[in-house]
Amino acid sequence: MLSSKLLLALQAGLALATPMRVSAPPAAARLTVREEGVYNASHPNITIFATGGTIAGSASSSDQTTGYQAGALGVETLIAAVPQLWNVSNPSGIQVANVGSEAITPAILLNMTKQIQAELDSPYCQGVVVTHGTDTLEETAFFLDLTLRTEKPVVIVGAMRPATAISADGPINLLEAVTLAASESARGRGAMVVLNDRIASAYYVTKTNANAVDTFKAYEQGFLGFFIDIKPIFYYASALPVGKPYFDLSNTTVLPQVDILYGYQGLNPALATAAVETGAKGLVLAGMGAGGWTDDGSEVITSLIAENGTAVVDSRRTMDGYVEAADTEGYYGGGWLNPQKARISLQLAINAGYADAQMRTLFEFAG
């Protein structure tokens, strides 16, 4: 059964008419007593940016793990449901969205990365946690990894079961994420993803199963570490992926459209043309094998590159693998990047005005 405290927290969250911001104590009034705990000067200040998803989901019964309402609970409720957060941090929360992760848009990502960067730049913040739905969590995590400049820990966390489930994984995942963000050993590692007692690099990790709680993995690169008794244990010293770029979005208000096309037998070449005609500045091909595409489809792609200046990245529809660089100008191999991450990288590179040589370097050294 759910604990009485969690039930009360969930009920309170469901009663909220609109998402609310839980403000961090102002610098002049840091010694603030709250219902959940007391500000502790020896604890790091961790800001939780909430976007909704399963971790904030609610179902009609405790044995229901599908068909629930994602993003039903606000960040206040998530914090109140895990009082142990106060044992390791001074937590505060900001609700930047409250939706299923399929509804996260480039506008939300832009807003979020700017808010998080401002928070990380503050001397009063020692780390950041982002709660997120798992369906597109890897995309947001990858985006933040490429657009935040900081040594402070940034941890993205979600859940595979809604908050109302009999064995919800959200509370322990959140506690581990905040504990990681509060840890000195987590500094300088780029953005990280935490679920199921594992710590993964946001650059490499992907969702591998639609239902299982151990879904987030990086098969080739492995995990960075794990948790024992809510304590993070790392396998390696802090390091960043080879060739990982940084993109400054401080002056960006809109991101260019980049679309993904899926490879299959008898694919329709006209879909590439339609994507460009409806505004795509770049295309990512989720190719067969190590980036294979049909002859007819390749003719259309070559034409779009030559006549429209469309930037195209070859990726793969398989779970893992490396796609070699292409020889044609405007045509790039995606390296280790899966289609959804290649799309974000291409989107950011087009926005930054990368020339062909810069694009080639970016994708040739993609992991």
Q: Please give the helix or strand (H or E) that residue 10 lies within, else none.
A: helix 4-15
Q: Is residue 291 part of a domain?
A: yes
The reply to whether 106 and 217 lie within a common domain is yes
The reply to whether 291 and 328 lie within a common domain is yes
The reply to whether 77 and 188 lie within a common domain is yes
The pLDDT value recorded for residue 70 is: 81
Q: Please give the helix or strand (H or E) that residue 200 lies within, else none.
A: strand 198-201
Averaged pLDDT, 102-116 = 97
The reply to whether 192 and 301 lie within a common domain is no
Averaged pLDDT, 293-315 = 97
Q: Is residue 63 part of a domain?
A: yes
- Pick the more confident residue, 192 or 13: 192
C-alpha torsion sign, points 200, 138, 243, 218: positive
158/81 Cα distance (integer angstroms): 15
Q: Is residue 16 part of a domain?
A: no
Among residues 219, 234, 249, the one where a domain terminates is 234
Instruction: Specify which of 52-61, 238-247, 278-287 reaches the highest per-range mean pLDDT.
Output: 278-287
Among residues 174, 201, 234, the one where a domain terminates is 234
139/116 Cα distance (integer angstroms): 16
252: left (phi over 0), alpha (psi -120 to 50) or beta: beta
The reply to whether 209 and 81 lie within a common domain is yes
Q: Is residue 31 part of a domain?
A: no
| Confidence label for 14 from pLDDT (cuts 50, 70 and 90) | very low
CB atoms within 10 A of CB 114: 15
Out of 47, 51, 54, 310, the active site residue is: 54
Q: pLDDT tens digits, residue range 249-266?
A: 999 999 999 999 999 999
The reply to whether 191 and 324 lie within a common domain is no
| Confidence label for 4 from pLDDT (cuts 50, 70 and 90) | very low
As annotated, the binding site includes 101, 134-135
As for how many domains the chain has, the answer is 2
Q: pLDDT tens digits, residue range 331-366?
A: 999 999 999 999 999 999 999 999 999 999 999 876
The reply to whether 83 and 208 lie within a common domain is yes
Among residues 200, 234, 268, the one where a domain terminates is 234
Q: pLDDT tens digits, residue range 40-99?
A: 999 999 999 999 999 999 887 787 777 788 888 999 999 999 999 999 999 999 999 999
| Half-sphere exposure for 8 (CA within 13 Å, toward CB) | 6
The reply to whether 197 and 287 lie within a common domain is no
Q: Is residue 294 part of a domain?
A: yes
The pLDDT value recorded for residue 66 is: 73
316/299 Cα distance (integer angstroms): 19
Instruction: Provide the CATH number for the domain around residue 283.
Output: 3.40.50.40
The pLDDT value recorded for residue 367 is: 58
The pLDDT value recorded for residue 37 is: 57
- 287: pLDDT strictly greater than 50: yes
The pLDDT value recorded for residue 26 is: 37
The reply to whether 358 and 216 lie within a common domain is no
pTM of the model: 0.89
Averaged pLDDT, 198-212 = 97
- Pick the more confident residue, 113 or 9: 113
Query: Which tokens hold the place of 238?
Result: 């802090």
Average pLDDT, the chain: 89
Query: Which tokens hold the place of 359?
Result: 């694009």
As annotated, the binding site for substrate includes 101, 134-135
Q: pLDDT tens digits, residue range 123-133?
A: 999 999 999 99
Instruction: Provide the CATH number for the domain around residue 133.
Output: 3.40.50.1170
The reply to whether 224 and 78 lie within a common domain is yes
Q: Is residue 25 part of a domain?
A: no
Range of the domain at 146: 45-234
The reply to whether 106 and 224 lie within a common domain is yes
- 313: pLDDT strictly greater than 60: yes
Out of 134, 164, 215, 294, the active site residue is: 134
The reply to whether 158 and 75 lie within a common domain is yes
Q: pLDDT tens digits, residue range 150-194?
A: 999 999 999 999 888 889 999 999 999 999 999 999 999 999 999
54 is catalytic: yes
